[in-house]
Amino acid sequence: MAKITYIEFNGKEHVVDVKNGLSVMEGAVKNNIPGIDADCGGACACATCHVYVEPEWLAKTGSRSAMEESMLDFAENVESNSRLSCQIKVSDELNGLVVRMPESQH
C-alpha cells in the first residue's frame, strides 16, 4: 500500500492510502478525489485522468507508453512531467507519491 497525495489545482491536498496493484487513477476514483474524472475507466482511451507527477517521482513512475503519449495529445497544458494516472501502477515504491491536477480538470 502506498500513501499518495493528490493536489487539486487550487492547492487543496488529499492524502489517501492506495492498495498495491491499483492505478493512481483508481485510487483517486475510489476516494472521490475531485479533478480526476476517468471517463474511459482506465483504458487509456481519454485524457481525463491527466496529472503532473512531481519531478522527484518521475523515475519511479516509469515512462509513458506510445498509447499514453497519443492520449496526452488530447489533454490541455501537457508538460514534461504529465502522465495519465490510469497508467501508473501503485506499489510500495510509490509510497509518498505526489501528483497535481491541471487547471483544466477542476
Rounded CA gap, 43 and 60, in Å? 21
List alpha helices for 38-106, DSSP H.
Answer: 58-61, 66-72
Q: Is the pLDDT of residue 69 over 80?
A: yes
Supply the pTM of this predicted model. Answer: 0.95
Give residue 79's identity as a one-letter amino acid code: E
Nearest to 95 by CA among 33, 16, 29: 16
Specify the number of domains making up the chain.
Answer: 1
Q: Is the pLDDT of residue 106 over 80?
A: no
The pLDDT score that the predictor gives to residue 105 is 79
pLDDT tier at 29 (50, 70, 90 boundaries)?
A: very high
> Which residue segment(s) compose the domain that 36 sits in?
2-105
Q: Say which CATH number the domain at 86 has.
A: 3.10.20.30
Model confidence pLDDT, tens digit, residues 43-68: 999 999 999 999 999 999 999 999 99
Give residue 5's identity as a one-letter amino acid code: T
Overall average pLDDT of the 77-103 stretch? 97
